[in-house]
Amino acid sequence: MAKKPAPSKAVAKPASTVIPSDLAGADLPGESPQKSSPIPSDAAVSLSYAETQGPGGETRQVAGDGIPILTSAQGIPVADDQNSLKQGVRGPTLLEDAHFREKIFHFDHERIPERVVHARGYGAHGFFELTESLADVSRADIFQRVGERTPAFVRFSTVAGSKGSFDLARDVRGFAVKLYTQEGNWDLVGNNIPVFFIQDAMKFPDLVHAAKPEPDRDFPQAQTAHDNFWDFVSLSPESIHMIMWTMSDRAIPRSFRTMEGFGVHTFRLLDAAGKSTFVKFHWKPKQGLQSVAWNEAVKINGADPDFHRRDLWDAINSGDFPEWELGVQLFDDAFADSFDFDVLDATKIIPEELVPVRIVGRLVLDRVVDNFFAETEQVAFCTQNVPPGIDFSNDPLLQGRNFSYLDTQIKRLGGPNFTHIPINAPKCPMAHFQQDGHMAMRNPKGRVNYEPNSWGPTQGGARENPARGFSSFAEAADGPKARVRSESFADHYSQARQFYVSQTPIEQKHIGDALVFELSKVERPDIRSRVVSHLLNVDAGLAATVANGLGLPLPAAAVAAREPIVDLPASDKLSIVKNGPATFKGRKLGLLLSDGADAGVVKALIKAVTAEGAVYEVIAPKVAGVTLSDGTTIAAKHKVDGGPSVLFDAVAVVVSAEGAALLALDAAAKDFVTDAFAHCKYIGIGVEAQPLFAKAGIAEDLDEACLPLGKAADGKAFVEAARALRFWPRELKVDLDAVG
């Protein structure tokens, strides 16, 4: 039994309020205790306390000493937030303790259900600016006035992992954009891949069940490298085109900022007369496309599971605002009828060579969220949110989504009033007669809550407007009611092949490597073999590589529902490498330093990196930093084992002879250089750094992407070389799969 405290302690107030004396009463940012007079004119109340504003502009009660007073959610000032109310010093806690009960009750309810897919996401605010009018084809207000800006919120996400999973999963990325237009919210809920796994929404629960952790064991988390996923794929040939994309480096992007976004489905634009033009939406990153290497992704997940969200947060906060162009592919019925595939089939693209992408605007993300939960977690995207001038096609995947998203938001956010949450509320005027329900925050005022009514425009409220209101394309539909898949959806391999042949050799190698990696995690040989049987319909070389990588006899090709077209032309736009950036701007250099490092070289390198519009982070034996050869000190961002090279686009090692000898003893420092080398990065090497490379075992292998940093001028040359981002020819020397 615990010892009874001495009586003197029992009566004294325990010293449990731990505000350091030097902070008590300090003016924290945004909390200046100046008095304001917010008393509404209709409330002749005299306050017994002063008021001040918190960081979000919220009013706070202020004590005589100027410190804001903690209150309960009911506004009742709190005397003690450290101890629950007890009967006797060591007695039971009392049910009467309203402050305790409120605090714990609220905490117990802090979580809402995570999204069933796309649970892990990260959002930011920005704007869309129209750069070319689409008034010729759409009456949508957002497309009318060049130069006009529309507020936007974007949420990027992975698909399969839970909310607490890691950013560099091999996965599709969500690219969901909410545009607060003057005629209502437009949600373009897309992905970073322009096709999808399935053609009919009926299959979505099966796809997602198969991809998520297996239900009995609840693993593997956030990965498709397991039997259930590949079993589903091997039995669903419609997914093979998407598989080519997810096994490519598109599924391991360097950053949200270096991904494309796609609306995926064919939508319609409608002009004022109701004339329809088909459209596909594209977001093209100004930063260029870039991905990481798979071995690197695996290590990033351990070193910094928040790699992508941190990258976006840092870029926006440093003023390096990511930007995408909005492109549209416009086409009419005649094109749709002549195209080799069905434009309603979400497993198909329309190559840009056939229908060029017309750039009509730009999306800029320039503000991080104030609060992750309030904004990123509570944002509710719904594919059915489209303003007048935009409409759906009959894509059966899109049609199913239009039901699913509203349903899921009601489940997730707990009721029909999720549009009252600021992140979801339109920024244009609204008027309707919907009312009540959980958490209703703005029921319409007045007596009239129905229409038609005869109370006149002021009291009676808003009226429908056939001219301005949303109208659907007057599409005629006929035919027997049936559960069918159109014959025009039957080709599953031709565009998979087109994607594969559009890749550079290194990208093709990565697709083969990814398939071998994933299928090597599949326990059942028959599933592995069935996947290869589909690959044979895509590309014989790829199928042979994968079969060889698995040590598997080549099976017979799967029977194709429709004979694949094998000579679709390659499309350069499908390659990441061919659409990479031209500069090192927005990238990050990892600079490994030691005490005594050559100050001239370090300073010149930093200057060159900064001039390029890139950033750098210093890695050092101690996080306090290093003292350079000229006596200047420079702070480090990471201690060596906390800043592995996988976190950087390129690395440089500038150390003194003693520093090199010290680091050569350290496994993390050796990993730093061997990983940078294995991941085909550009490496800058100071003159004294050689012993580290020698001890790491790569001194003999250094190639033309390992550049000397001997004099100040070398810094600029190094940064210019690193614009190429990766030196892929090296991979053929550092990877068994390249030779095996």
Distance CA 129, CA 151 (A): 9
∠ CA 8-12-14 to the nearest 5 degrees? 120
Contact 152, 128 (CB under 8 A): yes
Closest to 191 (Cα-Cα) out of 160, 152, 145: 160
Contact 254, 287 (CB under 8 A): no
Q: What number of chain residues touch ligand HDD (CB under 6 A)?
A: 25
∠ CA 602-608-614 to the nearest 5 degrees? 110
Q: How far is the CB of 398 from ligand HDD (least distance, A)?
A: 7
Mask for 437-466, x = binds ligand HDD (CB under 6 A) = ------------------------------
In Å, how far are 170, 222, 333, 525, 550 from 522, measured between CA atoms?
16, 15, 44, 8, 10
- Beta carbon nearer to ligand HDD, 264 or 293: 264
- Beta carbon nearer to ligand HDD, 362 or 401: 401
If binding is defined by CB under 6 A, does position 150 make contact with ligand HDD?
no
Residue nearest to ligand HDD (CB): 174
Partner residues linked to 51 by β-bridges: 61
- Beta carbon nearer to ligand HDD, 489 or 682: 489
- Beta carbon nearer to ligand HDD, 115 or 534: 115
Site for ligand HDD in 399-428 (CB under 6 A): 400-401, 404-405, 408
State which of residues 99, 155, 268, 308 lies at the interface with ligand HDD (CB under 6 A): 155
State which of residues 99, 115, 250, 534 lies at the interface with ligand HDD (CB under 6 A): 115
In Å, how far are 450, 638, 704 from 681, measured between CA atoms?
66, 19, 11
Strands in 650-654's sheet, in edge-to-edge order, are 638-639, 615-620, 588-593, 650-654, 683-686, 706-709
- 185, 191, 228, 424: the catalytic one is 191
State which of residues 191, 347, 495, 645 lies at the interface with ligand HDD (CB under 6 A): 191
State which of residues 137, 142, 264, 605 lies at the interface with ligand HDD (CB under 6 A): 264
Contact 708, 687 (CB under 8 A): yes
In Å, how far are 16, 40, 100, 123, 313 from 83, measured between CA atoms?
8, 36, 9, 37, 37
If binding is defined by CB under 6 A, does position 494 make contact with ligand HDD?
no
Q: How far is the CB of 408 from ligand HDD (least distance, A)?
A: 4
Secondary structure class of 692 (helix, strand, coil): helix
- Beta carbon nearer to ligand HDD, 177 or 636: 177
Candidates 80-88, 104-112, 190-198, 452-460 — which segment interacts with ligand HDD by CB under 6 A?
Answer: 190-198
- Beta carbon nearer to ligand HDD, 276 or 347: 347
If binding is defined by CB under 6 A, does position 282 make contact with ligand HDD?
no
State which of residues 137, 160, 189, 725 lies at the interface with ligand HDD (CB under 6 A): 189
Active site residue 453: no
Distance CA 267, CA 344 (A): 9
If binding is defined by CB under 6 A, does position 211 make contact with ligand HDD?
no
Closest to 621 (Cα-Cα) out of 651, 585, 586, 596: 596
Active site residue 191: yes
DSSP one-letter code for 723: T
State which of residues 99, 118, 257, 348 lies at the interface with ligand HDD (CB under 6 A): 118
Which are the catalytic amino acids? 118, 191
Which stretches of the chain bind ligand HDD, using CB under 6 A? 115-118, 121, 155, 157, 174, 176, 189-191, 196, 201, 204, 264, 346, 379, 381, 397, 400-401, 404-405, 408
